[in-house]
Amino acid sequence: MMMDDDMENGSLGPFQDQPRTFPNMRSKPYVPLVFRVLMGINVRVLFVLCLLGLAVIFYIGASTSRIIVFVFSICIITFVFSVYLSKWVLAKDEGPPEMAQISDAIRDGAEGFFRTQYGTISKMACLLALVIFSIYLFRSTTPQQESSGIGRATSAYITVAAFLLGALCSGVAGYVGMWVSVRANVRVASAARRSAREALQVAVRAGGFSAIVVVGMAVIGIAILYSTFYVWLGVDSPGSMKVTDLPLLLVGYGFGASFVALFAQLGGGIYTKAADVGADLVGKVEQGIPEDDPRNPAVIADLVGDNVGDCAARGADLFESIAAEIISAMILGGTMAQRCKIEDPSGFILFPLVVHSFDLVVSSVGILSIRSTRDSSVKVPMEDPMAILQKGYSVTIVLAVLTFGVSTRWLLYTEQAPSAWLNFALCGLVGIITAYVFVWITKYYTDYKHEPVRTLALASSTGHGTNIIAGVSLGLESTALPVLVISVSIVSAYWLGQTSGLVDETGNPTGGLFGTAVATMGMLSTAAYVLTMDMFGPIADNAGGIVEMSQQPESVREITDVLDAVGNTTKATTKGFAIGSAALASFLLFSAYMDEVAAFAHEPFKQVDIAIPEVFIGGLLGSMLIFLFSGWACSAVGRTAQEVVNEVRRQFIERPGIMEYKVKPDYGRCVAIVASASLREMIKPGALAIISPIMLGFMFRILGHYTGHPLLGAKVVAAMLMFATVSGILMALFLNTAGGAWDNAKKFIETGALGGKGSDTHKAAVTGDTVGDPFKDTAGPSIHVLIKMLATITLVMAPIFL
């Protein structure tokens, strides 16, 4: 290349004046096999196939319920809207050639890692599917399955098919999240050269495309699975399964989604934070160069990590959250309708699908409410991006309240309790308020406009140690308010459900658990917009890196810095949102687990007595699991970061010309290190999460068999699930908030406060940020996925505990 010839001839000028070329991590862009096959089909043939597919889907939906047809229609319309968003974003220019070259390097690295990571995950998923199939072939059946003629083999095929479909859809959701981020980052960077508002709009619409596809896939996937089983099994026909029992067949879908989300979050989190820590410790602290400086050998790996950790993993994470919540709510709705002898229970069962269909609509309106100025050439004062995003969120919340009320009146009205729908509408309002309060609390503790983060930044002025102490104490304190909010919301929703007027045959109120389920649906009724705000963060972060590496003017970097700081806050708020929804969803799944055990055991299973020593031990092991998992996740980041630090130091020593822009760093070496290490390191904590509940339940089942306690295994697993959920919520809140606060304390100092960049205060803040990196982007997000996966795996594996 020209650049190499110049180096050999000794005529290399300043690095800024040279054509900037960046190495591709792959020889050609990676496209998944499914998309390659579709791209190879003639356009007309593909169009006809799509029409036939839609016709089949709508035929199955019409054979099931008009509600399913409504859900299909909304999902398809919003998919069309997402195509519009993607075309709008991709129509934006990529800026000068050096920006496009950096973006290509990031894209190739991200897609290469995605292919390898998901190849590994798919192999593990197939192996686990065989295990599930074997267990279901030899397990006992429930009375409902026996009466409907569903044998062990049919049940095994259904569960495995649902598991694999959930895993596939979760993987596609992750790919969509990454696909848009690696193409939007350079367009946001280019838009920042013109105006902050335009850059904000591009980032939001790119995140909105991913969010709508993820939520839409979760909804339509469950709807297709439900309607297919309904038609195939002849549900509600004489001698067949009742519609109230059908949602239990969907549990495998949630487990598949959780399985992929956990490994995606672990692998992506280790990748992104190991690269980030290595780049910061050597680049900022030791060499004193800015963040995302092109002289840092780990900078490309860091930018790739934003996409595979924050975008791909978060897409799979929220997909799993919505799937688990929908399925658990459908199970509880069917159970309650059966106990109350409601004539048409389909409204109570399909209510979650309708709520999330409306979520797609109201979130789309919220995304469109964020617009740029008509004339980008007119320089206007820079608005606070967080305030603009909050306005969009407020619009979404107001519309969500209205559509939620319409949904409850339409689907939850019953002659047995004419005012029950109003109580459930209030349960939804409790959930929506809970979501808003969660976002506000997390914003208060992680935004540098508020006192906690500024106090943390001030602690950095007295050294590294005081920064760490202040950050840990802030994280511990931040757990109090969210727990109080969750507690109030659960009690309020349960009470509203109990007083709805719905009673069973003996006259006992039965709507309490379903009221909690409705509150969870209310909390997630704006999930698409919340995921949009989450995706906005890594896209803005990548845009800032591209601006810095391509040596753009300082005014452009100032815009991306502000967007990046806001992105850190939105990422933290959405993590808090995810934790809150995980707590409520786990509570629902725990109730479904107890119902499942009762069905298989042919006896009531309504409470767990922790005064029994074995049951208490199960709870203790559940809490231990959270801490051990967190420790392994953080240590994985630490070990991988050490490899990156050593590599970056080696390059600075062996290539002294890097600092003078005379020699270009070997970016590909750092990418290779973190890619291989993250895939290796994600196995151990992931295996711990899957094997622990199965082994624990099976061991205590054997013990119970010999001691005359046939339900001992199920009780021990229930205790493990309860304690793990409680410990996991607190741990995740602590890790996410502390990590986000450390990050934004550093950002606050980089605005010029307390000495600004390069000062001793800044170096102390960078240390705090590196400590918080594995907290907020690896262990913390993985824990709330772990909580829900434990709940789904115990539900799927319940027969082996008896």
How many CA atoms lie within 13 Å of 784's alpha carbon, on the beta-carbon side?
Answer: 32
Tell me the per-residue pLDDT of 343-399, one tens digit each, with 9 for 90 and over: 888 888 999 999 999 999 999 999 998 876 554 454 555 677 888 888 888 899 999
Q: Which residue has the higher pLDDT, 668 or 29?
A: 668
Q: Region 399-420: what's the mean pLDDT?
A: 89
Q: How far is CA 327 from CA 132, 592, 700, in A?
A: 19, 10, 28
Q: Region 40-53: what's the mean pLDDT?
A: 74
Nearest to 566 by CA among 589, 597, 534: 534
d(CA 740, CA 475): 9
The pTM assigned to this predicted structure is 0.85
Q: Region 762-774: what's the mean pLDDT?
A: 87
Q: Which residue has the higher pLDDT, 622 or 378?
A: 622
How many Cβ atoms from other residues are within 10 Å of residue 58's Cβ?
16
Strand partners, 503: 509
Q: Region 38-62: what's the mean pLDDT?
A: 75
First CA to last CA across the chain, in angstroms? 68
Per-residue model confidence (pLDDT) at position 19: 39
How many Cβ atoms from other residues are within 10 Å of residue 13's Cβ?
10
Q: Which two tokens stand for residue 531?
A: 């995921």
Q: Which two tokens stand for residue 787?
A: 């909580």
How many CA atoms lie within 13 Å of 128's alpha carbon, on the beta-carbon side?
Answer: 27
Is 511:420 a contact under the CB 8 Å cutoff?
yes
Tell me the per-residue pLDDT of 139-157, one tens digit each, with 9 for 90 and over: 666 666 666 667 777 888 8
Burial class (CB in 10 A: 0-12, 13-18, 19+), 659: middle
Q: Which two tokens stand for residue 25?
A: 């991590």
Per-residue model confidence (pLDDT) at position 144: 62
Q: Which residue has the higher pLDDT, 29 or 185?
A: 185
Q: Which two tokens stand for residue 495?
A: 């009470």
For residue 20, what pLDDT band results from cuts at 50, 70 and 90? very low
Q: Which range is least confidently modeled, 564-578, 625-639, 703-717, 764-778?
A: 564-578
Q: Region 213-242: what's the mean pLDDT?
A: 85
Per-residue model confidence (pLDDT) at position 42: 66
User: What contacts 396, CB < 8 A, 6 or more positions away?
Assistant: 362, 363, 365, 366, 526, 529
Average pLDDT of the chain, as a whole number: 83
Per-residue model confidence (pLDDT) at position 7: 29
DSSP letters along 49-98, please? HHHHHHHHHHHHHHHH-HHHHHHHHHHHHHHHHHHHHHHHHHTS---SHH
Above 70 in pLDDT, residue 255? yes
Per-residue model confidence (pLDDT) at position 171: 85
Is 602:141 a contact under the CB 8 Å cutoff?
no
Nearest to 210 by CA among 108, 86, 303: 86
Determine what percent of the chain is predicted with pLDDT higher than 90.
15
Q: Region 476-482: what's the mean pLDDT?
A: 92
For residue 313, what pLDDT band results from cuts at 50, 70 and 90? confident
For residue 466, what pLDDT band results from cuts at 50, 70 and 90? very high
Above 60 in pLDDT, residue 565? yes
Q: Region 659-665: what's the mean pLDDT?
A: 80
Q: Which two tokens stand for residue 269?
A: 């989190």
Is 772:467 a contact under the CB 8 Å cutoff?
no
Q: Which two tokens stand for residue 667?
A: 């970016």
DSSP letters along 106-144, please? HHHHHHHHHHHHHHHHHHHHHHHHHHHHHHHHHS---HH
Is 409:420 a contact under the CB 8 Å cutoff?
no
Q: Which range is least confidently modeled, 19-33, 326-340, 581-595?
A: 19-33
Q: Phi then psi for 655, rounded to 5 degrees?
A: -125, 75
Q: Phi then psi for 626, rounded to 5 degrees?
A: -65, -45
Nearest to 693 by CA among 587, 590, 584: 590
Length of the chain: 802
Per-residue model confidence (pLDDT) at position 38: 59
